[in-house]
Each structure stands twice: as C-alpha cells, then as structure tokens.
C-alpha cells in the first residue's frame, strides 16, 4: 500500500519522517520534548520545518473522521487544536501494516492539566481549570457539538490574565448536530463530572493536588458553573413593559461574560403588559474582538479585557476621552504595550506570551506601588519584573522536562480499565 498524506497545506518535509516505524520507536532526533498527557494511543511531538506538531497513532478511519471534525470546529471558530493532516497506508520495511497518524499543530503556550499541577500554582488552580472547561463546554454545546469524552485530559489550557482558557484537543467521540437536546447536554456533563473526579483523584494520589480539595466536590463544580452560564446565555426572562431597560441590562451582562448577542427574541403578551426576551444567537469573544479591531492584537478573552482596561486608563490619563478611539488605541499600542513587551530579553521571551506578560507586569506594578506608597511607572515595573520574577518562571512556549505520562495513576482505574464501558480520558495534544 502506498503512503497517503491528506492535508490542506501539505509540507513536503512530512516525507522525511520515519513513517515506516511505529510511532513509539521514532528516533529522538525527530522529537520535541513536550509534556504528554495520559493516552490510550501513542502520542509524540515532532519538529518539522520550524514548527512543532502533535502526532497520534490511531486507526485510519478514526484519524480521518477526527481530522474532518477538527476542521469543522475550526471553521466554527471554536477553541480547539488545528488539524494538520492524516498519514495512512503506513507499512514497516517487511510489509507489516501500521496504524494511521493524525497530525495537529502544537498550541503554543498551552499545557495539559498534569503539567500545570507539576508547577507551583495558586491554591485555586483546580477550580479555575474547571471553570475554563465549563466555558468551553458551553461554547461547544451552543453550536451543537456533543463531545462524548469531556475531561481535563482531553483539554489544553492557556493562561488568560489570572484565569485559564480551555482548548479541545481530542474529538474522536464528538458529534456535530444542528442543536443538542437537554439529554445530550446532561450526558456530556455527567461524563465530565465522572472523568474529572477520577483525574483529580490521580493527582491526589501523586501528591499534586492542593491540600483540602475534595475531588468529588470539585468535579461537581463543572455542573454548577455550566448550568449558571447556560442559563444566562439562553434563558427566558420576563418583566413588565415599563422595565424595558432590562433588555439593555441583559445584553450588558452577556458582554461582561465575554459574549456578544447576535440575535435576541423579544415578544409581549396579548395585552402588551409583559415582555419576554431570550437570546437566540450568542457569540463568544466580545472583548477579544473589540481589542482586535482597535489594535490588531489577537489574545484570549480575559487578556483582552485587561488590556482594554489599561487602554481606557491610558485614555483618561492623557485626557483624550474625546479623541477617536482607534487613534488612541494605536498610540497606546506603540507607546505602552509594544515597548513593554519588547523589553523582555530574547532568552526569556518563551516564558509567557506577550499579552499574559503585560497582564503580569500590570499586577507587579500594582504590588510595587502598594509597597512604595506611590504610583510606580510601568517602565520601572517591567525592569523589576524581568530581573526578579520572570527568570524563575517555566518556559511555556515549548515546555520541556515534564513527561506527565510518568505521573502516578490510581491502581483502581488501571485494574478496571478493560472492564469499564465508560470512555477513558484520552489526551491527544
């Protein structure tokens, strides 16, 4: 059988990789040392033409289906890894068939949850990860995507101005529908709750979970967070006709949550005394779209919110509230944001992505000002941050030295894995 490569933009360098070898036997010279999650499949990161790709060895039909599903999710502008291609028709030199490989682009500055817990993190890390996963699940459900294997393991996380942003990395079991029933959504939530409890128990057994955290109670949080957000985004609201201001209030609440309202259904009763409203089409990314329009910066939602707040402060400090917003934004970008982010030495540039760095510098400036009892210029804050804080942070552009596959897993799950009909958490990265 001839080697077959399916890709939207195939790279000829793919032909240089040792496809005739099982993925687990690939030479080190082709591999990138990045953290891997627990997986029922063999997963490796490879270096190719200046980029890092994730390669997962699976059956050809599953690889083709997941590749197409990830392409559809990307077209819908959902947070997930970008598919690169599928390689099938693989054979060993003696003619023995090998499984196909699904290739995706590595998401820079992202980490699997186990690698995050191997670092020194804030005590509320587990709840912040679950909050991010709840937002991701709501976004997927809004477009009719049933995941079927929701877990921390099947998600990558990027820092987002003190919070996390979650990205789907495994769509093997996913299904895309016109819309989801309540039963389908509840099924996904139930899968999430069970999987997350098991993953947190794994961390607890290895001594990586923060003290005092109950894995089961924490896993139940995703149901609460999901339900609250889903209700706010889709729930029906009734009020008296004299309270029309509540229409604008509902839209502002959704904007604060990071969603734009593209379609809002408004109706009245027969007498016109009662009005009911219900969002019909909501779109995530309210703040990031505004920042992109003003500055060209494409960042996470909470990062955008923080940068926009600093832009508003700059506008007030320079007494330019009446100037054109786009002109002020251009000046802020060239005089504040870019000089600050460019201050970082080249050898430290991989520690944090620029928007997250800027957020941390603003936090550092606040601490310095509080300690000094006066306002500290941001230029002084970045110099102090680069010399005292940044060098001790891990390099998150391409994190090395943490092989999360070797972290302990509870024996109870290992012993029953073959008998458990529930899909086990997988991580493709």
Q: What is the pLDDT of residue 39?
A: 61
pLDDT (0 to 100) of residue 410: 35
Angle between helix 245-256 and 215-234 (nearest 10): 140
Q: Tell me which residue of 396, 400, 297 sits closest to 348, measured CA to CA.
A: 396
| Per-residue tokens: 392 | 């001790």
Residue found by looking up tokens 């989801």 in the block: 180
Bridge-based pairing of strands 100-105 and 145-146 is unpaired
What's residue 241's pLDDT? 73
pLDDT under 70: residue ranges of the chain: 1, 34-39, 118-123, 270-273, 396-429
Q: Which of 26, 22, 16 is nearest to 91 (CA)?
A: 22
Closest residue by Cα to residue 100 from 156, 150, 57: 57
What's phi and psi for 43, nearest 5 deg?
Answer: -130, 135
Residues in the chain: 429
pLDDT score recorded for residue 118? 66
Residue spans of beta strands (DSSP E) within 3-50: 4-6, 42-48
CA–CA gap between residue 276 and residue 236 (Å, rounded): 7
Both tokens of 66, joined, read 């997941």
Domains of the chain: 4-108 (3.30.200), 111-234 (1.10.510.10), 239-284 (no CATH), 286-392 (no CATH)
Query: What is the SS3 assignment for 139?
Result: helix
- The Cα–Cα gap between 296 and 200 comes to 39
Residue 220: strand, helix, or coil: helix
Cα gap 413→409, rounded to integer Å: 8
Tokens of 43: 């997963």
pLDDT of residue 36: 57
Helices assigned H by DSSP within 18-124: 60-75, 113-117
The predicted pLDDT at position 400 comes to 38
Tokens of 196: 């997350």
DSSP label of 212: T
- Long-range contacts: 300-304, Cβ < 8 Å, 24+? 300/158, 300/160, 300/161, 300/165, 300/355, 301/160, 301/165, 301/258, 302/160, 302/161, 302/162, 302/163, 302/165, 302/258, 303/160, 303/161, 303/355, 303/356, 303/358, 303/359, 304/355
Q: What is the pTM of this model?
A: 0.79
Using the structure block, give the residue that is written with the tokens 């007494």: 319
Predicted local confidence at residue 148, as pLDDT: 95
DSSP 8-state symbol, 118: T
């Amino acid at each position: 059988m001839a080697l077959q490569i399916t890709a939207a933009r195939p790279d000829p360098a793919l032909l240089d990789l040792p496809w005739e070898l099982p993925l687990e036997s690939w030479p080190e010279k082709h591999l990138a040392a990045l953290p891997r999650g627990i997986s029922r499949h063999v997963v490796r990161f490879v270096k190719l033409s200046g980029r890092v790709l994730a390669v997962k060895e699976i059956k050809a039909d599953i690889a083709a289906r997941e590749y197409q599903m990830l392409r559809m999710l990307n077209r819908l502008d959902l947070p997930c890894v970008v598919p690169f291609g599928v390689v099938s028709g693989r054979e060993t030199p003696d003619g023995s068939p090998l499984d196909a490989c699904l290739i995706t682009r590595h998401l820079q500055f992202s980490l699997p949850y186990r690698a995050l817990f191997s670092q020194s993190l804030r005590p509320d890390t587990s709840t912040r990860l679950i909050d991010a996963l709840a937002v991701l699940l709501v976004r997927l459900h809004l477009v009719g995507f049933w995941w079927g294997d929701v877990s921390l393991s099947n998600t990558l996380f990027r820092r987002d101005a003190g919070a996390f942003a979650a990205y789907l990395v495994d769509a093997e079991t996913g299904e895309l529908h016109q819309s989801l029933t309540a039963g389908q959504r509840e099924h996904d939530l139930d899968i999430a709750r069970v999987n997350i409890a098991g993953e947190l128990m794994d961390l607890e057994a290895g001594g990586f979970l923060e003290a005092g955290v109950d894995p089961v109670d924490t896993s139940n949080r995703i149901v609460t967070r999901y339900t609250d957000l889903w209700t706010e985004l889709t729930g029906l609201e009734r009020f008296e006709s004299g309270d029309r201001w509540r229409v604008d209030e509902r839209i502002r609440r959704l904007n604060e949550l990071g969603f734009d309202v593209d379609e809002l259904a408004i109706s009245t009763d027969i007498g016109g005394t009662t009005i009911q409203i219900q969002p019909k089409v909501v779109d995530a990314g309210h703040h990031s779209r505004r920042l992109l329009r003003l500055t060209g910066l494409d960042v996470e939602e909470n990062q955008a919110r923080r940068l926009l707040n600093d832009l508003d402060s700059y506008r007030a400090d320079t007494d330019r509230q009446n100037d054109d917003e786009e002109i002020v934004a251009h000046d802020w970008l060239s005089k504040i944001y870019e000089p600050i982010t460019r201050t970082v030495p080249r050898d430290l540039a991989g520690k944090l992505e620029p928007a997250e760095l800027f957020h941390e510098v603003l936090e550092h400036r606040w601490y310095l000002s509080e300690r000094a009892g006066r306002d500290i210029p941001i230029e002084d804050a970045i110099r102090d941050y680069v010399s005292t804080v940044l060098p001790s942070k891990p390099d998150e552009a391409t994190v090395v030295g943490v092989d999360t596959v070797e972290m302990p897993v509870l024996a109870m799950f290992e012993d029953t894995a073959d008998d458990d009909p529930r899909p086990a958490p997988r991580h493709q990265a």
